[in-house]
Amino acid sequence: MGIGSGHVRVALGFGGGLELVVKGRQQSVQANVPVEEQGEADVSMRAVVAYVRDQLVEKPEMFAKDEGVRPGVLVLLNDCDWELDGTLDARVSDGDSVTFISTLHGG
Amino acid sequence: MDERRPLCFRCKCERARAVVRQREALCASCLEEVLHLRFKSQLRRDPRLDSRTKCRPSKRTSQGARGNERTTKLAMACSGGTASSAMLRMLAHVQSREQGRAERGRIAFAMEAYVVDESCLADEQDARTTERFAARVAEEATNIVEDSRKAQEDAESSAGRGEPLAFRAHVLPLEDVFEETSNGTERRRRCRELVLGVRDETGREDLIAHLRMRRLRAAAESKGVDLLLLGECATRMAVRAIAETVKGKGYAMPGNIQLADSRLGKDRPTVLRPLRDSVAKELAFYCHFVGLRLHEKPWRVVQGTTLNGLSDAFVATLQANLPSSVSTVFRTVEKIQAFPFNQEWEELNTEFQSSCITEPAQVPTLCTLCLAPLSKRELDARDQADRMNKQEGSVLCRSCLVQIVGTDTTVLANLPQSMRHRSQDCVQDKSQRNAAARAYIADYLLDEEE
């Protein structure tokens, strides 16, 4: 996969109990997230969250709320808080890593 | 991307990696340092851990003789989750490396970890995944402590100095609360029957928490521990404050959110909550940045939505919209008057010595199930006698009565002995209680001659 291929390779990680709602209970997944517009070399975090919600989790309501993540779920883009990069508007490039960590305790 | 991130608010050298508190951007090193300082500062509030004050631990009358002055022994509850793993690493970090002597900037104590094995509550089909869960958490706890110590030795070139400090992570089967039953299989059966017999999902979740706490306290006491540390952070406290208020435990709630809790008396381990200054997000980032491997229980006993879960989601939603929410809730409830048993150690010592007998109101009656102090209203409630069929020694708070016991007394009958009899939990023994009661009503007693 490379630039212009229509997909962006992202290394996804799940922690804090979120791995239990991912299909196959995986803690890490290599994903190919489709670009939002043809020819783009990166995707927005919005698209990555939507991809995870629609393709990877068994119970979407445990992971996402509206177009964002459920309150209590932390997101790291390349091991840094996504709030530093603009949260849902942050750009994710080929080879980047996105980690989702839940701080909720179930119930 | 890295260059576009702001510089750390604190050191102004490294690029920030986390946004915490009121939108403060910190680098990984500063976040670690801030959390360690806060933690140490909370620990030092107990003079048994403050090397700067001279304090003799109390002589323990149970479980073997104790010397006049010895290293404070502490134990921490470890679940494999974020807060307890973070606390374990912080403890290893602040512990003095020389036995019995406080190094500059560190605290002298002996420590061990307890992992409660709840696999007796998992379904049969989950047996393969549950079998070794607690053992894995205990192994990881040992790794965290060893790695932390090694990293410090490497950083300070102090390898091989002094005797290596002891550390052990003990696995405590939950079913051992049924001490009166000697057979392990029977204990597991009784534990499952008790928990699964609670119809209300919130009640079931709460009962598991009470059993877990019982197990931890019993282990700490049997091993001569002075302080039992719980990894309850500010977020957890705020959630608990909301949940307990909703469950009608508002009276007892302030007792569960203070730093220290000596409700079972000064000669039994004090429960400490030294992470109460830190929010869940900070601890989650800390664990991620230092590379701690976390473990999440792969089974669930409670499937539906509970009041605890709803409170959790409520606080998380508030916090997502307004990052000061947890702090606001926590600081507000902290201002509610706490109980005498929450006082810090030196004041508590004085309190127990001088007022125990003359002011029995200072020593609250505790619920036999959850150890919550009962309000006067709960004590007076008529349905106590009806529900208990005048059973000697059992007193329950309203929340346990409604949520856990419900309308059928099977749950009561299935409880372990230690949770059915109040006398084991009271600070005073029966003769002292009688003396206290006599003193309290002395003015109204008729003399023998009258």
Say what the ipTM of the complex is: 0.92
Q: Which of A71, A76, A80 sits opposite B319 (nearest CB)?
A: A71
Neighbours of A14 (CB within 10 A): 25
Interface contacts A/B by beta carbons within 8 Å: 83
Of all residues in chain A, the one with the smallest CA distance to B5 is A84
What was the pLDDT predicted at B59? 40
The values of phi and psi at residue B246, to 5°, are -65, -35
A90 close to B28: Cβ distance less than 8 angstroms: no
Percent residues over pLDDT 90 in chain B:
47
Parts of chain A with a pLDDT under 50: 1-2, 106-107
At residue A76, the pLDDT reads 96
Please, which pLDDT band fits residue B60 given cuts at 50, 70 and 90? Answer: very low
pLDDT of amino acid A19: 87
Q: Which residue of B has its CA nearest to A91?
A: B1
- Preferred mutation among A80, A93, A98 to probe B, highest tally of B CBs within 10 A: A80
- pLDDT of B175 above 50: yes
Check if the beta carbon of residue B276 is closer than 8 Å to that of residue B234.
yes
Please give the residue of chain A at the shortest CA–CA distance from B243.
Answer: A107
- Select the residue of A19, A72, A107 nearest B306 (Cβ to Cβ): A107
In this prediction, residues B227-232 reach a mean pLDDT of 95
Q: How confident is the model at residue B104 (pLDDT cuts 50, 70, 90)?
A: confident
pTM: 0.86
Residue B224 confidence (pLDDT) above 70? yes
Three-state DSSP at B414 gives helix
> What whole-number distance in Å separates Cα of residue A16 and Cα of residue B13?
30
Tokens 């002292």 correspond to B432
d(CA B16, CA B26): 5
Distance between CA B320 and CA B316 in Å, rounded?
A: 6
Lowest mean pLDDT among B67-71, B151-155, B317-321, B418-422: B67-71
Chain B nearest-CA distance from A60, in A, is: 15
B308: CB partners within 8 A, 6+ apart: A105, A107, B202, B205, B206, B239, B243
Average pLDDT in chain B = 81
pLDDT value for B301: 81
Q: What is the pLDDT of residues B243-302, one digit of tens each?
A: 999 999 999 999 998 999 999 987 899 999 999 999 999 999 999 999 999 988 878 888
Task: Pick the residue from chain B with its C-alpha nearest to A102.
Answer: B284
Mean predicted confidence (pLDDT) in B391-410: 79
> Of A72, A78, A106, which has the smallest distance from its Cβ to B1's Cβ?
A78
